[in-house]
Structure 1
């Protein structure tokens, strides 16, 4: 848990690490969960999270980070972080972009020459990238005593990326799509916020726009959604959107959002309801919901590039009940339905745009229509100030991304309620569920207009 002790000794931190490690091992044994290792055949993750397992794991992360800082000393820890952070990120991005993961058998090894042939890069570049990758546990040498001639093998980290397309998509999204904007945040703040009392909310004054203003490398795009939809040429056009859809499908596994969706309301009680999944991507949530509740009819709405992906993924058994409709949620809604699903949509937009998205539903709303709002709650510390720092860090990292991309911010529970109230007083929040350990909030909103 969070601690105000800023003068721990190395032995005290070591003891804390030992205590938490033993506690986590015990909790995993009691839950019959196999613990991850560094080897390629490691379990991909901790298969079951109880609240105690989760908080213990994160508290251990805090203790390990503190031990690392104190063992180095403050100035050296800063030097090492500044020296390594961007090269680490660039190395991972190269490995991912050129799919080094598939160049090496999961249960075997590969030579530098064969890896270079597979990824179509010069062998010198491959060797230098893998030399760095091995220092951060992406790949290892089969013969560590002779690294210059040794074949290369997977570690648990690289094997996970070889096995999980969604994890590869997550790496691409966090680094490739967001990285340029994050790196020019100082310039954006200097240009648009220096000397002012408040941050801008205009999306034409973002770090993203600064990074994507006519440059040959990153292109000229207004916002990240335009980048996702249009980047690339020929068959590669829209590749970022396709990768993003894969990322979103993976997110449902990380956060258990399918279970969250299935428990968001009493779907059986809703009967033969028509549900509109706004910004529903390739339909992964809609498929799970329709499979669990045969009485539901679902319309998935999203941008053009999502349509072909939906068509290739919709199960034949669901094709009559789950359909795709091209729709921009900034345009007036024309589909009258019983329930509108807004899951992980508004957190990507500033307040004004979030309010407009809600307001654009009004033309189609009938009295009593529901909006099921499921979104990320990035300010967990406002609910429980004693959470491990690493939990809070997850939210603050996302908050900085939102500032770079959209001049938006991660919101607390009260801020989410405020967005709904500002959109229209006829939106009534009838139920709220929020848990800082899941990072998610569920609100049931009913339209009281005529």
Structure 2
């Protein structure tokens, strides 16, 4: 049983590694690619596309648990992978209508994918293994930040403009990678929980009808549970932390790379540094996922300590970015940023901030996964749907304003929400710890 669960978690992580190697790389470079298009008929914006993705993602999260309950997490992940691949394919020959249309589709697919992932991960875990499995999955997922971004660096080195041929070769490679990740979901095995349920139903003559009726009932129950969870004190408190992960997700995955590419002081290497920045963010994510996901299981670290560490790491990164990156670097401009930073831009400082952004993000996300998995073990799909709903609402909002709001105000907003979210996380963790002590005494 343990071997099947471990196999499923590893294959799940590899599938996400491949799909998000394509999608994360795409998100990191798409605003730069769109601005370099030699196409008078294309009027799309990378920021707006990402905003649409996360906006649809947020709304679709309310229905995703019901769909996953009916069709099952394995099929849903395969179907969602197809939608992700379709979005990548658009960049090979981009048109405005297909660009935004697939943005809507992938937003819906993302809600299904992440809800199914959370459900499948919990199905293959228990209270004693949830931290370990979350760490394995998170570390594999964040390896996606390495390979595509390394290709960006090697291919775009010393290039100030991205040609049509460069773009086509890049996105064909990313499309193949995404398709391979999608196909990997076909070799996932049924979780032990599913096997037990099937064995209990063997021999029943109306198995198909019963299963269908049960699935529809489960779908209605899941939807009601999602709506009920929004009214609970625990979810309300955790929502501040979830909201913060949405803002910083949009910042490290789309805005910061654009800022680096737009900083003229980096010279001819500015475009290639977008790829290096993505790789370094990935290293930060992997270190955090491995250290605070895998090591946490057998150490004296607690979730509160990890989240506090993540907040401090992010605040240091934000301060350094505030000092060294032009204030108008994220804006949608046809010219290089005109503002002069407080200190001369440094490649070392920029890459250090990339690492800190990834490290801090892994702190928040691994601990949110862990606390939700422990508190809502029997309501995993609705709980993860709520998480992704709140996260994606704020990510979508951030992508829409990122092209128009100066960098300093974006950083200030993240500082305020990050501090508030950390405090709320402490309150939840303290109450859960007190409840577990009372339970032990009884």
The structure with the larger Rg is 1
Tell me which protein shows more helix as a share of its residues. 2
Tell me which protein shows more strand as a share of its residues. 1
TM-score, with length taken from structure 1: 0.28
TM-score, with length taken from structure 2: 0.28
* Greater relative contact order structure (CA < 8 Å, 6+ sep): 2
